[in-house]
Amino acid sequence: MTTHLPVCAACLLATLLVAPLAAQQAPAPTSPKPSPKDTEVWEPAPVVVTPGASSDAAPSDAIVLFGGTHLDEWVNVKGGGPAGWRVADGVFTVDKPVGNIQTKRSFTNYQLHLEWRVPATITGKDQGRGNSGLFLASTGGGDAGYELQILDSYNNRTYANGQAGSLYKQAIPLANAMRKPGEWNVYDVIWTAPTFNSDGSVRTRARVTVLHNGVLIQNNYELTGETRYIGAPTYKAHGATPIKLQAHGDPSEPLSFRNIWLRELK
């Protein structure tokens, strides 16, 4: 006996039998084929900076802090008058009785190039031999600020966190890359200034990278405060600051400097 299904039931049965087959035959959706252009970023385009004629020469966007003829970009820390250090033959030399000097301008983050020389006739030992300092941010008179040590560390033993290239009494340099007295040394510095909250507390600490004669000696080091001769480092709130060079009171012959330039960084 033949059984006749109702029309609606037959349609339903047919749908149930055919649907899985159709699902198996339907092509799966495909993702767009990856393209190199998917990861290309065109904007913003970097600012064009013309390099100097040599690796030591100032690029086109640099502020020249000393180009060999005058100290117009510097002032004496005591009173803010003329720097007072002697300029001759394209270099300037520390005048210890005159005292520290600092830049007229104030800075936050920057790239700095500075060349310095211990005299060939240097005498003394330990911290009393060719002592000076580059204060990456001067926060007041005297030795207030963050000091990158300048010292004759060529065959001259001293405490490791006080030799050339140290962040004074905070960070020992990763290497001693000192040239012998009479030859020029080069510091290339990347300085990131600390930032502070409205209540004076530290938001972000200062960081610094230093190359000494092309050798990495401080690698993005995070300072725990201003450098201090006595006591632990501490921070005090400040904004943009000058850069300071130290006229140290040791009895040895004074150091000389040349070719100082800076690029401000955002």
Ordered structural domains, the chain, with CATH: 63-264 (2.60.120.560)
Other CB atoms within 10 A of residue 255 CB: 25
Q: What is the DSSP string of the chain?
A: -PPPPPHHHHHHHHHHHHHHHHHHHSPPP-PPPP-GGGG----SPPPP-PPPSSTTS--TT-EEEE-SS--TTEEETTTT-B---EEETTEEE--TTT--EEESS-BSSEEEEEEEE--TT----GGGSS-EEEEEEE-SSTT-EEEEEE---SS----GGGSTT-BTTTB--S---PPPTTSEEEEEEEEE--EE-TTS-EEE--EEEEEETTEEEEEEEE-SSB--SSS--B-----SB--EE-----SSPPPEEEEEEEEE--
pLDDT confidence of residue 31: 85
**Mean pLDDT score of the chain:** 92
What is the rounded CA–CA span in Å between residue 4 and residue 20?
A: 25
pLDDT confidence of residue 28: 76
What is the rounded CA–CA span in Å between residue 147 and residue 134?
A: 6
Instruction: Give the residue, 28 or 236, on which the prediction is more confident.
Output: 236
pLDDT band at 198 (very low <50, low <70, confident <90, very high): very high
What the block records as the tokens of 29 is: 């959706």
- Dihedral angle sign, alpha carbons of residues 220, 177, 128, 183: negative
- For Cα atoms 143, 115, 256, give the angle at the middle one, nearest 5 degrees: 70
pLDDT confidence of residue 29: 80
User: Residues 150, 257: contact at Cβ < 8 Å?
Assistant: no
- Whether 220 shows a pLDDT value over 70: the answer reads yes
Average pLDDT over residues 215-227: 98
- Whether 22 shows a pLDDT value over 90: the answer reads no
Average pLDDT over residues 48-67: 97
Nearest to 101 by CA among 247, 261, 253, 241: 247
User: Residues 79, 63: contact at Cβ < 8 Å?
Assistant: no
- Whether 129 shows a pLDDT value over 70: the answer reads yes
What is the rounded CA–CA span in Å between residue 145 and residue 23?
A: 74
User: Residues 210, 104: contact at Cβ < 8 Å?
Assistant: no
Other CB atoms within 10 A of residue 265 CB: 13
What is the rounded CA–CA span in Å between residue 246 and residue 243?
A: 10
